[in-house]
């Protein structure tokens, strides 16, 4: 037997390749397949995760911390926010801050988190789930109510609001 007959040769497009080069090419192919599988898994995992709400804390140490939390959350999920200043004539400023998290597939669902913020403290005042695509927060001073209106003007949530004078 000749020396050449003992070496196993692989051919690609008629070109003979040594065993080491063949192994390297196979490893590259396996690596590309693994990366593709990971990419697909992450993409579908992110899409699956968007169908579930992410909860916000009951209380934060002030408006700045709450805003920082929202900025971080906006990187991962669709969130809109709205801030209303209440001038109560009491020498202290109270802000009503609403954050609206859209989620779900097929049906537009919004989780509305409405916080009352005073100096150094923001506390969850209302949480509600609404089946609309977009809402706006408003304070009705005449009736002393806080409302959420849908994009077509329909009032979808109403609550008595003790902070209005």
Return mean pLDDT, the chain: 77
- Distance, CA of 19 to CA of 95 (rounded, Å): 71
Collapse the DSSP code of 39 into the 3-class scheme (helix H, G, I; strand E, B; otherwise coil) and give the result: helix
Which tens digit of pLDDT belongs to each residue from 129-165? 888 878 888 888 888 888 889 888 888 888 887 766 5
Amino acid 1: pLDDT: 47
Higher-confidence residue of 81 and 12: namely 81
Query: Hey, which bits of the chain come out as E strands?
Result: 10-12, 15-17, 59-60, 79-87, 93-103, 109-118, 121-130, 135-140, 145-150, 155-160
Q: Give Cα separations from 17 to 5, 8, 30, 31 (angstroms).
A: 14, 9, 18, 20
- 15-17 and 145-150 as β-strands: parallel, antiparallel, unpaired? unpaired
Higher-confidence residue of 117 and 77: namely 117
What are the structure tokens assigned to 4, written together?
């050449």
pLDDT at 59 over 50: yes
Collapse the DSSP code of 123 into the 3-class scheme (helix H, G, I; strand E, B; otherwise coil) and give the result: strand
Q: Give Cα separations from 68 to 60, 96, 97 (angstroms).
A: 11, 16, 13
Amino acid 11: pLDDT: 57
């Amino acid at each position: 037997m000749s020396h050449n007959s003992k070496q196993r040769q692989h051919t690609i497009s008629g070109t003979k390749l040594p065993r080491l080069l063949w192994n390297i090419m196979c490893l590259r192919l396996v690596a590309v397949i693994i990366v593709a599988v990971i990419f697909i898994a992450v993409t579908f995992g992110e899409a699956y995760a968007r169908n579930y709400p992410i909860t916000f804390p009951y209380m934060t140490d002030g408006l700045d911390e709450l805003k920082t939390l929202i900025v971080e959350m906006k990187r991962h999920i669709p969130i809109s926010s709205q801030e209303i200043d209440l001038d109560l004539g009491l020498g202290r400023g109270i802000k009503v801050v609403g954050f609206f998290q859209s989620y779900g597939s097929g049906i537009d669902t919004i989780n509305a988190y409405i916080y009352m913020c005073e100096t150094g403290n923001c506390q969850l005042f209302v949480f509600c789930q609404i089946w609309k695509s977009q809402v706006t927060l408003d304070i009705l001073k005449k009736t002393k109510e806080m409302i959420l209106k849908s994009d077509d003007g329909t009032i979808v949530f109403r609550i008595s609001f003790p902070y209005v004078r």
